[in-house]
Amino acid sequence: MTHDLISAAWYLARGSGLSSLVLFSIVVALGIGSRSGRALFGLPRFAVQAVHSTAALTAVGFLAVHVVSLLFDPYAQLRLLDLVVPFAGAYRPLWLGLGTLALDLMLAVVVTSLFRRRLSLLAWKAVHYLAYLACHRQNRKRRVTLIAKDRFCSAGDVGVGCVFRPSL
């Protein structure tokens, strides 16, 4: 692989991961906001739910790009097994394991959301709340921009949760 291709794979993997994290934070905020029953941003509840669903699908798309591009990233050197089995990879096993767990949790949320009408409300909610665990924050090198993004996304989710206080 040429240096330009290696650099492109690295930036694609990191950029799509960062984009999916920001989008998932927006999805969490919209999900909390839609549970309140009140209008959000002047939109009725069904419109907020539609934006929530669309943003979630977009975030899952960015997550798929992130995962696939990491398979071709020469730094991470992931195998297909590393995408399914947590903490099995050689490259930064803790962070890779957390990412694998988050991917598995997000897949569970997507699958149960697709079959929501066939599941009990309690089962769907139990799996859906696992999305909070999947939105882990990882700053390996503690760059100022990533720390700011982390604090902004976390504060936004907590702030929306405090304002709208959804019930189980």
pTM for the predicted model, two decimal places? 0.76
| Per-residue pLDDT reduced to its tens digit, 119-146 | 898 888 888 877 776 665 444 444 545 5
Angle at 70 between CA 75 and CA 157, to 5 degrees: 115
Element (H, E) at 3: helix 3-35
Q: Which of 70, 73, 75, 74 is nearest to 103 (CA)?
A: 70
| Per-residue pLDDT reduced to its tens digit, 55-77 | 999 999 999 999 998 888 877 78
> Alpha-carbon distance 102 to 6, whole Å?
25
Contact 89, 82 (CB under 8 A): yes
List the end-to-end C-alpha distance of the chain, in Å, as a whole number.
51
